[in-house]
Structure 1
Amino acid sequence: MKDWYNCDTTTLLIPLLTISTIIWYMYLYFFKSKPQNNLPPGPSGLPIIGNLLSLEPELHTYFTGLAQAHGPIFKLRLGSKLGIVLTSPSMAREVLKDYDTIFANRDPPAAGKAATYGGSDISWSPYGPQWRMLRKVCVVKMLSNKSLDSVYELRRGEVRKMVEYIHNCAGSTVSVGEQVFLTVLNVITNMMWGAAMEDGERESLGAEFRKTAAEMVQLIGKPNLSDFFPALARFDLQGIVKDMNLLVPRFDGIFEKMIGERMVKDVEGKESESKDFLQFLLNLKEEGDSKTPFTSTHVKALLLDMVLGGSDTSSNTVEFAMAEMMNKPGVMRKVQEELEAVVGKDNLVEESHIHKLPYLQAVMKETLRLHPSLPLLMSHCPSETTNVGGYTIPKGSCVFVNVWAIHRDPSIWEKPLEFDPTRFLDGKWDYKGNDFNYFPFGSGRRICAGIAMAERNVLYFIATLMHSFDWTIPQGEKLDVLEKYGIILKKKTPLLAIPTPRLSNPDLYK
């Protein structure tokens, strides 16, 4: 947190407004605030700002250390807000299952609202009729197994292009995460509006997309005075919302272009034959619903969810999995042996092979145990004051579930820091969020809507990369699996590796 509080104070207005606001909060803090009974323990903080200055950049590890000092539930004063952090399965169950409805709301950061058209997407929408409508659209219509089956050829074609590209780079260094991101992005854009990037623009436009997505995710996760002191939000002292508003048009322009082209066809009387998600969403908008209207803003917000949520998380998981396997050659060898037995070296991987690859599935589960895409999930905001673990959780608190810490708890997992896929071979663990020792996609009403797509993409990509190539690290380079915290967990340094073709027939790479 070296720079989060550095803001422009070159004018007199901002300091005066800040001082006035602080005085107001001091008045509320010392004279108006009613003490809450039986709050969880936690580190002491300063008046007004609470624990803000003691926060560290790697929040997931910082919170894990605080849990060791204060217990599995503790509080933090975050300016005018109260943060509650949970690091035990039993308390996670209370919040995400027993009191699921109460904790189903969000407390969206200012940057998150700016990115998603005022919080009109499925991630930040408050719990209620609109959110239920968006969830139904995503899970039942867009991301169901039936819908995903219908676009398998799109995924297959893009994966084949990735394999051909990497084959052409054989013997030289490849950025694994970048190539996977570009391919997932092409898959998603094809699913959304039936168009992918042409080969000529794959590198430039894809890299720009990834850079923009990374910057947006970083801004959403950046500590913001506007979130800690809502009265300051209108001033955007750190310029975070301003920066986000500069990024959003990069995606919004693409969405508007695609929507506009479809609308022109409708005006001209040309009925679109497209079966992609965009056409489905536009049809839904035209049908209308007086109770919960589905607008153009919702269309764009869901498209943005697909781009940000589907591409970055999947590519990061594949990158972590590849790095972990390369770090443990025995694991990589077992994956390749399983693939040879099921697929053969004279054939290419198909999604139909995946259910016959239990060790590969265990690799994905173990990767998500050590490196869950959202280490603190997404924050929950109780709609009423509730008792959790014997402590009072006030209405409006910001509740974090540290799934990263739970997945590494030595009282739950044997040798928790070791990458060992065999712990998942008994078939006991799944992604449904029913077991609160392992729930990388969350649980309850706000469990990730894209589990089915993520599982398909990640397994298919890992299987293809491991089956088609052997992978080594450039000479003199060091392999690591260090993490960089954000709302979405990333590998700290990109995985750069050298592919060597391993299939028997060179034509399979074309």
Structure 2
Amino acid sequence: MTALWTMPLWLLPLLALLPLLLILKSKQVRRTNLPPGPPKRPIIGNLHQLGELPHRSLGQFSKEYGPIMLLQLGRIPNIVISSAELASEILKFHDLDCCNRPDLMGPRRLSYNNLDIAFGRHNNYWREMRKVCIQELFSVKRVQSYHSIREEELASMISSISKSTSSTPINLSEILFNLNDDVTCRVAFGKIYKGRDLFDNGKFGEAIAEADAMLSSFSGADYFPYVGWILDKFTGLHGRLENCFQKFDKFYQHLIDEHLNNERAEAEQEDIIDVLLKVGRDQTGAAPLTHDHIKGILMNIFLGGVDTSAVTIVWAMTELVKNPQVMKKVQDEIRSTVGKKENVIEAIIEQLKYLKMVVKETLRLHPPAPILLPRETMHHFTINGYDIYPKIRVQVNVYAIGRDPKYWMNPEEFMPERFMDNSIDHKGTHFEFLPFGAGRRSCPGIHMGISIIELTLANLLYAFDWGFPSGMKKEDINMDEEAGLTVHKKAPLYLVPIEENITSISN
């Protein structure tokens, strides 16, 4: 008792309130209602359950735990959304509550997080950047202005294929990635850099391949803050990342200097660097566009644009050779519309309604980013009755939504006709179909990507019929996926191009 009375008198009210505070705290804990999810292990959480193809693993989990799940990936809580209704809640009604990007420090910052760091995840810089991208770089008018570049590079590709030895299979996957490299280089940089040694001891193509490999690598720093960098140091990932980043930084600075010093040949039109430098000169206010910002934008355009477009075209051709009736139907449409012209030009594409359905169906079955780039919540909110707290990563499994029988009849079948006579599009307003995301973090390069996909596919189908390598049938096509930031076809697509409209793909 003596000890009690010697305590400071101001502590007595706090001691009296302590039981009440504990009761209120326990009630608050009981009121917390987190989404369900699979059991987790100490330290690693649910990381071991992702598998080689996380979009498929998470799709299977959603059938057991529901369309909203909570997973602990290392030390990071993640909610995974696998239904159109909840995707609408997250990306539309709670867009402001979860439009941050997580502070990733591993390989994925090569592709997008470096740009968020440059512009700030929490201030006006990011909004200014998106405004620049939408209004200056990827507007419909700007994308259309590059039509001659796409048409020229496609004509060159078709000519090259025509010169290949008759009945010899070609690696269509490699050809399509090279095409998209060339188009993106000309649009963004003003010329093609293939084979030019601007990376000291490595060529441009090798640097791109290394960046792609980095994007699909596991980084301890992304899942174990403060300590994961030790794992990345031990595996050599940290050093590879910094080396890759420095090479690209030097490359982009070289490009900017060329444009500033007029050291390049006279260009036919403005490229993206021209546009960004002009925006930087004309910009006023608190958010100037610096050279570092321009480098970040270029990194996103190149690594995000080349891969996704090429992957989609490869999957489209794969599905078409597996479904010869669909191929014949789309070829008939293209050839009857184009007539006897040498190549398909972009002005004709709007008339090719069935081709557009084929592209949509490919994006439904094979979204290039099957799990949208992660967001991070900023505020507490509830969804479907569950509490969502700040600093939780949000991932939307568009692959699972695109194959859900609730929204799609016979969802595993390739049926472009499902898009006939309906208004479903890929612009982020139909949440059962989200290949480019929705809301503030949707892909700003939708028009650019769709333009090259549709035009390339139209030219390939117009110029050639397509046969299989000797002894191969459509049932033999390998449909396995290879996971990464984008999901590639694991085995390259080898086909035989046949001119003179001789159909050789049998039923």
Both structures adopt the same fold (TM-score exceeding 0.5)? yes
Given the alignment of the two structures, is residue 293 of structure 1 paired with residue 288 of structure 2, yes or no?
Answer: yes
Deviation by residue 1:46-94 (Cα, 9 ceiling, x = unmatched): 2232222333111000001111111111111122210111111111111
Q: Aligned to 1:231, which of 223, 226, 229? A: 226
CA contact (8 A) 1:104 1:382 kept: yes
Of residues 470, 489, 493, the one that matches 1:491 is: 489
Structure 1 residue 150 displacement after superposition: 1.7
Q: SS at the partner of 2:154?
A: helix
Question: Residues of 1 paired with 2:417 and 2:306: CA distance?
Answer: 28
Query: Counterpart of 1:364?
Result: 359
Q: Which position in structure 2 is the counterpart of 1:185?
A: 181
C-alpha deviation, 1:362, in angstroms: 0.3
Which letter maps to 1:177? S
1:383-462 equivalences in 2 (<5 Å): 383-462=378-457
Selected match of 1:132 from 94, 111, 127: 127
- When normalised by structure 2's length, the TM-score is 0.85
Q: Which piece of structure 1 moves more, 279-288 or 419-428?
A: 279-288
- Output the CA distance in 1 between the equivalents of 2:270 and 2:174: 29
Which residue, 279, 286, 298 being the options, matches 1:284? Answer: 279
Match of 1:5 in 2: none
Secondary structure at 1:464's aligned position in 2? helix
Change (3 A) 1:211 1:330: farther
In 1: Cα distance, 2:437 partner to 2:53 partner? 20
1:426 and 1:406 mapped to 2: Cα distance? 21
Structure 1 residues 472 and 39 mapped into 2: Cα distance closer, same or farther (>3 Å)? same
**CA offset at residue 290 of structure 1?**
4.0
Q: Which moved more, 1:385-394 or 1:237-246?
A: 237-246
SS state of the match for residue 230, structure 1?
Answer: coil
- Per the TM alignment, residue 452 of structure 1 is displaced from its structure 2 partner at its CA by 0.4
Displacement of 1:231? 1.1
Write the letter of the residue equivalent to 2:482. K
- Asked whether the 8 Å contact 1:109–1:220 carries over to 2, the reply is no
- Cα distance in structure 1, aligned partners of 2:302 and 2:36: 39
CA distance, structure 2, for counterparts of residue 347 and residue 56 of structure 1? 47
Q: 27, 49, 52: which is aligned to 2:44? A: 49
SS of the equivalent of 1:231 reads: coil
Deviations 1:324-352 (A, max 9, x none): 00011111111110011100244421111
What residue is the counterpart of 1:176 in the other structure?
Answer: 172
| Structure-2 separation of matches of 1:118 and 1:425 | 38
Secondary structure of 2:498's aligned partner: strand
* Distance in 2 separating the partners of 1:347 and 1:169: 18
- Give 3-state SS (helix, strand or coil) of 1:314's partner: helix
CA distance change for structure 1 residues 457 and 217 in 2, over 3 Å: closer, same or farther?
same
Q: Which residue of 1 aligns with 2:252?
A: 255
Aligned with 2:458: secondary structure? helix
Quote the residue 1:29 is aligned against: none
Which is further off, 466-475 or 42-51?
Answer: 42-51
8 Å contact 2:50–2:58 — kept in the other structure? no
How far apart, in 1, do the equivalents of 2:481 and 2:120 lie? 29
**How far did 1:428 drift?**
1.9
What is the 5 A alignment of 1:462-481?
462-477=457-472, 478-481=476-479
With normalisation by structure 1, the TM-score equals 0.85
Query: 2-side partners of 1:213 and 1:489: how far apart?
Result: 16
> 1:190 & 1:290 partners in 2: Cα distance?
31
Contact 1:482/1:491 (<8 A) preserved: yes
Structure 1 residue 361: Cα displacement = 0.3
Contact 2:106–2:221 under 8 Å retained in 1: no
The answer as to whether partners of 1:323 and 1:480 remain within 8 angstroms in 2 is no
Structure 1 position 344 matched with structure 2 position 342? no
CA distance in 1, matches of 2:384, 2:206: 41
Once the two structures are TM-superposed, the CA of residue 370 in structure 1 deviates from its matched residue by 0.2
Cα contact 1:42–1:70 (8 A) shared by 2: yes
Q: Counterpart of 1:426 in structure 2: which amino acid?
A: D
| CA 209–424 in structure 1, closer or farther in 2 if over 3 Å, else same | farther
Deviation at 1:217, TM superposition (A): 3.7
Amino acid at match of 1:370: L
Deviation at 1:274, TM superposition (A): 5.8
1:119 equivalent to 2:117? Answer no
Q: Distance in 2 between matches of 1:225 and 1:476?
A: 45
**Count of residues in Structure 1 that have an aligned counterpart in Structure 2:** 464
Q: Which runs of 5+ in 1 are unaligned?
A: 1-33, 505-510
What pairs up with 1:191-230 in 2 under 5 angstroms? 191-197=187-193, 209=204, 212-230=207-225
Point out where structure 2 has 5 or more consecutive residues left out of the alignment: 1-28, 503-507
Partners in 2 of 1:114 and 1:105 — Cα distance? 14
C-alpha deviations, 1:117-154, integer Å up to 9, x for none? 96225999625311111111111111111112222111
Distance 1:123 1:425, change over 3 A: farther
Aligned to 1:23: none
CA deviations over 1:208-234 (Å, ceiling 9, x no partner) = 655543542443343322112111144
Assess if the C-alpha contact under 8 Å between 1:213 and 1:312 holds in 2. Answer: no
Change (3 A) 1:368 1:501: same
Matched-pair contact (CA < 8 Å) for 2:110–2:211: yes
User: 336-345 vs 59-68, which deviates more?
Assistant: 336-345
| CA distance in structure 1 between the aligned counterparts of 2:180 and 2:381, rounded to whole angstroms | 41
Provide the residue aligned with 2:53 in structure 1. 58
Given that 2:169 and 2:495 are in contact with CA atoms closer than 8 Å, whether structure 1 keeps it comes out as yes
CA–CA distance in 2 between the matches of 1:159 and 1:213?
21
Structure label with greater radius of gyration: 2
Per-residue Cα deviation, 1:417-448 (whole angstroms, up to 9, x for no partner) = 00011101214211121111111111111111
Q: Percent of aligned positions with the same letter in both sequences?
A: 34
CA distance in 2, matches of 1:70, 1:123: 38
Letter of the 2:335 partner, please give it: E
| 1:170-195 per-position Cα deviation (integer Å, ceiling 9, x unaligned) | 42222212212212221111112221
Asked whether the 8 Å contact 2:196–2:203 carries over to 1, the reply is no
* Structure 1 position 37 matched with structure 2 position 35: no
319-328 vs 142-151, greater mean Cα deviation? 142-151
Whether the 8 Å contact between 1:93 and 1:436 is mirrored in structure 2 is yes
Distance 1:114 1:53, change over 3 A: same
Instruction: Call closer, same or farther: CA 1:209–1:327 in 2, change over 3 Å.
Output: farther
Contact 1:72 1:87 in 2 (8 A): yes
Q: Partner residue of 1:4? A: none
**RMSD value over aligned CA atoms?**
2.7
2:237 corresponding residue in structure 1: 240
